[in-house]
């Protein structure tokens, strides 16, 4: 009897131990893969991984971080102009510049990305984030997923290869760094182009004829934009030559000369920025809109970002002014030098219907907000 009780107690004890063993969580012995390993195994980043290797960025993205990567698909690279990818591989410095424009320092969650107006890339330029319902766009490319997590960051899939402003331009036989003229001469860095009333950054689906219609009311006036852009590109690295009017690249900066009404066949006419912002121009603002006038009194080009009921981002050259026609409401603003370290302190203001606000930015990295009375 005692022997049977002993056996029964032993059986119960062993069963209890076995049950505890099954209930315990599995050991966490498998480390999460890094960004490079995740990109290699995803299956649709093959070209992107190859470009990282060619630009000597693989080790950085494999071992450092955290980073947020906006990685173009293989189809996005295939959609580049003929010969463009080969030229990128042939110039690792330009390739590294382009790839750095796809990387942001820090880990950005999908929910945080949808609440951001811009992101600052490792390349140095700012990329705009636009959200329309469930659609998220960054720099003109659509974000196709919620992100793939890695141990040192997150990768988002995008459908377009992003090109930083002034990164490259198409020439014969291919793409070259825009900081070098075709004759090999070094460019003067960032002079103020008197010919440009506006420095326009190309967005997805833009064409020269559409832009000519937008700024001049005449689709055939694109020759004016081509001539002006090619003129300032010889001395200002922000701009890239247009050798084929049928091909402009997302992120490329164009010189928009003169005020609306410039004839397409005419030459490039220097613009009086004060005339552009005359009372007559301000009177054209629709009754249900408001107007923001940005005046750049700093010594560098500024990408000025407005975030509010209307989101907009434009480059304002030194000593120039630019109009933003927006919906009334509460706005936040910031400004950054393209590819540089200069930035103005962010701020905010509120606009009512038909109100005008002037935003004046200075070299002390501050902007002053001045409400104006419209005539």
Q: What is the pLDDT of residue 181?
A: 29
- pLDDT one-digit tens code per residue, 183-230: 333 333 333 355 678 888 777 667 787 788 788 877 777 888 888 888
Residue 180 pLDDT level (bands cut at 50, 70, 90): very low
CA 179, CA 184: separation in Å to the nearest integer? 10
The total number of residues shown for the chain amounts to: 375
DSSP state of 65: -
Mean pLDDT, to the nearest integer, of 278-295? 67
With 80 as the cut, is the pLDDT of residue 243 above it?
A: no
- 4-8, 73-77, 94-98: lowest mean pLDDT where? 4-8
Q: What is the pLDDT of residue 255?
A: 87
Q: Is 282 helix (H, G, I), strand (E, B) or coil?
A: helix
Decide: 84 and 170 in contact? Cβ < 8 Å. yes
- pLDDT one-digit tens code per residue, 205-215: 677 877 887 88
- pLDDT one-digit tens code per residue, 107-141: 999 989 988 888 888 887 778 888 888 889 998 88
**Structural domains of the chain sorted by starting position, each given as residue range(s) with its CATH number in brackets:** 35-158 (2.30.180.10), 168-271 (3.10.350.10), 275-372 (2.60.40.2890)
Residue 1 pLDDT level (bands cut at 50, 70, 90): low
With 70 as the cut, is the pLDDT of residue 252 above it?
A: yes
Q: What is the pLDDT of residue 340?
A: 66
Question: Of 250, 231, 66, which Cα lies nearest the Cα of 147?
Answer: 66
Q: What is the pLDDT of residue 321?
A: 87
Decide: 292 and 357 in contact? Cβ < 8 Å. yes
Q: What is the pLDDT of residue 48?
A: 94
On average, the pLDDT of the chain sits at 74
- pLDDT one-digit tens code per residue, 26-44: 333 334 788 988 998 888 9
Q: CA of 10: how far to CAs of 1, 21, 103, 290, 370, in Å?
A: 14, 17, 61, 84, 86
């Amino acid at each position: 009897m005692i022997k049977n009780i002993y056996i029964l107690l032993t059986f119960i004890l062993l069963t209890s131990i076995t049950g505890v063993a099954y209930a315990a969580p599995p050991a966490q012995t498998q480390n999460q893969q890094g960004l490079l390993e995740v990109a290699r195994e995803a299956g649709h980043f093959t070209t992107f991984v190859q470009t990282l290797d060619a630009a000597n960025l693989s080790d950085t993205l494999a071992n450092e971080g955290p980073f947020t990567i906006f990685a173009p698909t293989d189809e996005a690279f295939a959609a580049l102009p003929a010969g463009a990818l080969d030229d990128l591989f042939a110039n690792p410095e330009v390739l590294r510049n382009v790839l750095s424009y796809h990387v942001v320092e820090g880990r950005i969650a999908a929910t945080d990305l949808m609440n951001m107006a811009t992101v600052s890339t490792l390349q140095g330029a700012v990329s705009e984030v636009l959200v329309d319902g469930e659609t998220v766009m960054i720099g003109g490319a659509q974000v196709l997923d919620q992100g793939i997590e890695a141990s040192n960051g997150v990768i988002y899939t995008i459908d377009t290869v992003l090109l930083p402003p002034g990164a490259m331009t198409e020439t014969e036989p291919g793409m070259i760094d825009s900081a070098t003229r075709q004759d090999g001469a070094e460019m003067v860095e960032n002079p103020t182009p008197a010919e440009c009333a506006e420095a326009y950054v190309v967005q997805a689906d833009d064409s020269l004829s559409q832009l000519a219609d937008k700024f001049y009311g005449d689709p055939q006036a694109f020759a004016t934009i081509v001539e002006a852009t090619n003129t300032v590109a010889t001395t200002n690295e922000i701009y890239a030559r247009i050798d084929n009017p049928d091909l402009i690249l997302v992120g490329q900066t164009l010189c928009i000369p003169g005020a609306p009404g410039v004839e397409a066949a005419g030459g490039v006419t220097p613009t009086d920025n004060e005339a552009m912002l005359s009372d007559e121009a301000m009177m054209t603002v629709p009754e249900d809109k408001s107007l923001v006038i940005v005046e750049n009194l700093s010594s560098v080009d500024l990408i000025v970002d407005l975030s509010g009921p209307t989101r907009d981002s434009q480059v304002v050259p030194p000593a120039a002014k630019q109009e933003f026609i927006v919906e009334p409401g509460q706005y936040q603003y910031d400004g950054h030098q393209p590819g540089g370290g200069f930035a103005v302190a962010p701020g905010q203001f509120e606009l009512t219907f038909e109100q005008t606000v002037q935003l004046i930015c200075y070299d002390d990295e501050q902007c002053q907000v001045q409400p104006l009375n419209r005539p």
